[in-house]
Amino acid sequence: MGWLYIALLAVAVALVAGAEWPRLEQRFGLEPRRRRQRARRKAQLRVVRSEADDFAASVERDLANLPTTIDESERR
């Protein structure tokens, strides 16, 4: 009778694992692992200011200083 109890225990474990599979997949599956890896990579990113940023700011300043109206005498 010992083998019967072992078989019933194995079936019970399989049923519990099958019922809890979606929750286990959410916590330990492939998608959560990807999210954790992406979060680690994002944590290591940093902002680097370059000359292109300075150039863009300069262009924006110059555009803001341009005259926006055209006088009648300047049209001719």
Instruction: Write out the chain's pLDDT in tens, 76 residues.
Output: 689 999 999 999 999 989 988 888 887 778 888 888 999 999 998 877 677 778 888 889 998 888 877 766 665 5
pLDDT at 67: 80
pLDDT at 75: 58
pLDDT at 72: 66
Residue 16 neighbours by CB distance under 10 Å: 10
Give dist(CA 51, CA 46) in Å, integer.
16
Give dist(CA 34, CA 57) in Å, integer.
37
Give dist(CA 36, CA 26) in Å, integer.
13
Give dist(CA 32, CA 30) in Å, integer.
6
pLDDT at 74: 62
Give 32's contacts (C-beta < 8 A, 6+ positions apart).
26
pTM reported for the whole predicted model: 0.39
